[in-house]
Structure 1
Amino acid sequence: MEKQNSRFRWVVFASVLFTYLLMASQRTAPGLITDQVMRDFNVTASTIGLLTSIQFFVYTGLQIPMGILVDHFGPNYFLILGAILTGLGTILYSLGTHELVLFSARILTGTGDATIWVSLVLILSHWFNVKEFVRLIGLAGMTGSLGFLLATVPFSAWINLLGWRTAFFSAGLLLCFCGILLTFVLIKKPKQIFPNESLSVKKEFKLAGTLALLQRTFSDRQAWALFFCHFGVVGGYIGFISSWAVPYGMSVYGMTRSDASQLIMMGLIGALIGAPLTSWISSKLETIKRPYVIVHFTILLSWSSFLFFRGNPPFPVVVMLFFLIGFGFGASALTFALVRQTFPIKESGIVSGFANTGGFLSAVLLPSIFGTILDFFQTTSGSMTDGYFYGFICPVIFSLIGLIGVSSFKEKRQDSGRKATVHSS
């Protein structure tokens, strides 16, 4: 394919990943102002948990439909629309004067965010060959972690400088600009460079074929293994840092908001290292499953350590635990390397969406469960430390499910994986 030999593919890569960077930052940025929102809008911890969950609920619910749509119609327009919707949702969040406006804004943001990962996977599949894809998917995962990192100290400083409303408004404008930029990079310029080449868009939507593909995916044990694998590694991390990590540092350790955001930066540094390093290790060992099992086991031990110390580990231990959990989250890009290795490329959109649904279903569940537990213990005993202790049972259970999922996956040999991919192309 000519596009896979073009230098312009790196412009596509950089533009898509920059958009992903900004969109990922808005998944967790509201966690920086949890206490301010609770105070300004007079809402409880349960409401904050629901506010966080609603975005991930919309994101999760749209993953499979989005996979079907990008498989049939191509990912370009969906990614452009998603960037603009996320920007508009972020702007609306900054202008909110009532909690219902905040919920509407997060629904809009979740709708836009739902387009990014599945579209990104398909775009990279079209512009890069299989060997490049395996390496670049790790960098893509690292970019998501960079987005979360952007939503810690840098965005916290931006909030302190301008106030949270102006900070979120400016982020929304930048995302809308990214949508305009992607229109040029993904649509207009490729038509000029490759006038005779298809943009990988299927004009016809066949309902019968789509239903058969859905049935095949939902009955595939490998797809379910990836679903539960992603469930265990993603949701605990994203669900916690997007809502309760900063309040945890402030409540249990008496930290300032800025210091607490530096604490979760350790997790993000771990994620930045975990994504490319685990991809490199898997490539060298010529196996994805074995290192991924070790990653899941480490995550389980890390979350369990919070229970061992009754929710209040020594501070150096907390730093190490956040780093290890973040490292495991960075390694979650391996889920989609397993998708590419196991399933034909024509089905990679829906299978990627299905696996991603598992990851963000847990991100939907955790903030609300955690918030409900905190409210209960604050009401009954007045102890937030006890609330966090029992709250950590939730990510422990989630990570155990993830370990079971990755352990039950049957990995194809490297050579057979290549044959399947070449055949599907």
Structure 2
Amino acid sequence: MDKHNSKFRWVVFTSVLFTYLIMASQRTAPGLITDQLMRDFQVTASTIGLVTSIQFFVYTCLQIPMGILADRYGPNFFLIIGSILTGFGTIMYSLGNHESILFFARMLTGIGDATIWVNLVLILSQWFNAKEFTRLIGVAGMTGSLGFLLATVPFSAMIVLLGWRAAFFSAGCLLCVCGVLLYLILVKKTNQPVIVKTNQHREKFGVLLKRIFSSRQAWGLFLCHFGIVGGYIGFIGSWAVPYGMNIYGLTRLHASQLIMVSLIGALIGAPLIGWISSRLDMIKRPYIVFHIIILLCWFTFLLFQEHPPFFLFVLLFFIIGFGFGSNSLTFALVRLTFPKTESGFVSGFANTGGFLSAVLLPGIFGYLLDHFQSVSGSIAEGYYFGFITPVVFSLVGLIGVIIIKEKNQVVESKPNTQVSL
């Protein structure tokens, strides 16, 4: 089958992205029932926080191993198993009667979730040519944001209608169905084995690891993803609502709407930036522009002493979300500058950078808030110094994207080919 010209590639694209949509929704959905879990299981907020964070910790730790496995055995098997594992984890979460079961269920969900992005990138690179891939990877990024949106009002309504256990049980069953659907489409319909072992010569793992970790290109991708993801997920997902309430006196409901503004920006930005990059037939220059824009947005909070005019504040949130949509260009650069036999490994390495920053930023920001509030008694001063964190992270990202080399073609006949630096 000529995958790049087959109409069936759109069936693959739709099924993979639908699975990603549902899996992404389950990353943040437990946050909707925090108070119910505390009441039902008689546990503290810190316990629930640990249960919630374990999924992201597992996800981050497994990105590089998943990339290596996907390169060596193909992406189909891991995506199928990952969706089923996420489904089983979600079902277990819905049936749990002790916090230890919730903890294990979220670990299982994290293992399954760790398979989705790296293998999605590899599957799309197999079925679409380079120009289509650059455009469609932006649509894939938008799908993740849609998943977060699905985990707000729609899933909340489902919880109110069915109860939280039935709502999560239904989502888990749907993910298991997605796993079966992916098997039928990616394996049965295309007559491919579930696990694909290539006949190409493979480097020893240690040699490959040393070469990638010594590659300026790989570290540039790691840093640019670190800089652009942490500010959006780390701040918007953790401190945006308290910031709106403490600095602008907003209610929790109105402050929560700020996240929607940023999310709308990401929904618009992801496909549009991918389309722009595809039309210009370049990746690095547009990516630099959006890194600069995001850096300036975070610096604006410092410029206005953490309290910009409200209209500007809302606009900054929208632009930060819009710029976040450019993060998919990281993986377009992976495809463009690394051979296919290494693209899973490098994709996982770059994605680790993004989620590492998303893990680090909330903790650093919170520490600065606590420190300056205890010293001066003013939380506003804490927010001012807290905003230095996303500024520094964004600067790191800009340095990363500047040191990246962009070339138009990868020599795929030699798996050991490196980008000339």
- TM-score tier after normalising by the smaller chain length: 0.7 to 0.9
2:140 pairs with 1:144 = no
Change (3 A) 1:7 1:207: closer
Structure 2 residues not aligned, in runs of 5+: none
Residue 22 (structure 1) aligns with: 22
Alpha-carbon offset, residue 366 of structure 1: 2.4
For 1:43 and 1:380, how far apart are their aligned partners in 2?
27
Aligned counterpart in structure 2 of residue 212 of structure 1, from 207, 211, 220: 207
Amino acid at match of 1:234: V
The Cα shift of 1:152 comes to 2.8
- Structural mapping, 1:22-421, within 5 Å: 22-33=22-33, 43-44=44-45, 50-96=50-96, 99-191=99-191, 201-202=196-197, 208-250=203-245, 252-253=247-248, 255=250, 258-373=253-368, 387-412=382-407, 417-418=408-409, 420=411
The 3 A distance-change label for structure 1 pair 208 and 91 is same
The answer as to whether partners of 1:54 and 1:364 remain within 8 angstroms in 2 is no
1-side partners of 2:92 and 2:298: how far apart? 35
Paired residues in the alignment total: 415
C-alpha deviation, 1:315, in angstroms: 3.1
Quote the RMSD (CA, aligned, Å): 3.1
Matched-pair contact (CA < 8 Å) for 2:262–2:321: yes
Residues 229 and 401 in structure 1, CA contact (< 8 A), matched pair in contact too: yes
TM-score by length of 2: 0.86
In the TM superposition, residue 176 of structure 1 has moved relative to its aligned partner by: 2.1
**How far is the alpha carbon of 1:155 from its aligned partner?**
2.9
Between Structure 1 and Structure 2, which shows a larger proportion of helix residues? 1
Instruction: Encode CA deviations 1:324-372: one digit per residue, 9 max, x unaligned.
Output: 1111211100001111111111211111111111111112222333444
Q: Shift in Å at residue 125 of structure 1?
A: 1.6
Q: Which has the higher contact order (CA 8 A, sep 6+)?
A: 1
Q: Is the 8 A contact 2:337 2:410 kept in 1?
A: no
**1:130–1:423 distance in 2 versus 1, CA, 3 Å:** farther
Inter-CA distance 98–326: structure 2 relative to 1 (3 Å threshold): farther
Q: Write the letter of the residue equivalent to 2:44.
A: V
Q: Give the deviation of 1:273 after TM superposition.
A: 1.7
CA deviation digits over 1:158-193, x for unaligned, max 9?
3444454443333223222212221212222222xx
Q: 1:101 and 1:222, CA in 2 relative to 1: closer, same or farther beyond 3 A?
A: same
CA deviation after TM superposition for structure 1 residue 403, in Å:
1.1
CA contact (8 A) 1:225 1:405 kept: yes
Distance in 1 (alpha carbons) for counterparts of 2:241 and 2:154? 14
Give the 3 Å change call, closer, same or farther, for CA 26–243 of structure 1 in structure 2: farther
Q: Using a 3 Å threshold, how does the CA distance of structure 1 residues 158 and 380 change in structure 2: closer, same or farther?
A: farther
TM-score w.r.t. the length of structure 1 is 0.86
Is the 1:138–1:333 contact (alpha carbons within 8 Å) kept by the matching residues of 2?
yes
In 1: Cα distance, 2:145 partner to 2:368 partner:
28
What is the CA–CA distance in structure 2 between the aligned matches of 1:287 and 1:99, rounded to whole Å? 49
* Cα pair 1:22 1:147 within 8 Å, conserved: yes
Name the CA shift for 1:199/1:105 in 2 (closer, same or farther; >3 Å). Answer: closer
The 3-state SS of whatever aligns with 1:287 is: coil
- Of 238-247 and 13-22, more deviation after overlay is shown by 238-247
Counterparts of 1:48 and 1:370, CA distance in 2: 20
The farther-off stretch of 394-403 and 255-264 is 255-264
CA–CA separation in structure 1 for the residues paired with 2:195 and 2:129: 15
Q: Give the letter aligned to residue 271 of structure 1.
A: A
Question: Would the alpha carbon gap of residues 141 and 85 (structure 1) be closer, same or farther in structure 2, given more than 3 Å must change?
Answer: same
Query: Does structure 2 conserve the Cα–Cα contact (< 8 Å) formed by 1:156 and 1:258?
Result: no
Deviates more, 1:174-183 or 1:154-163: 154-163
Q: Residue deviations 1:362-409, cap 9 Å, x none?
A: 122223334445555677777665554444333222112111111111
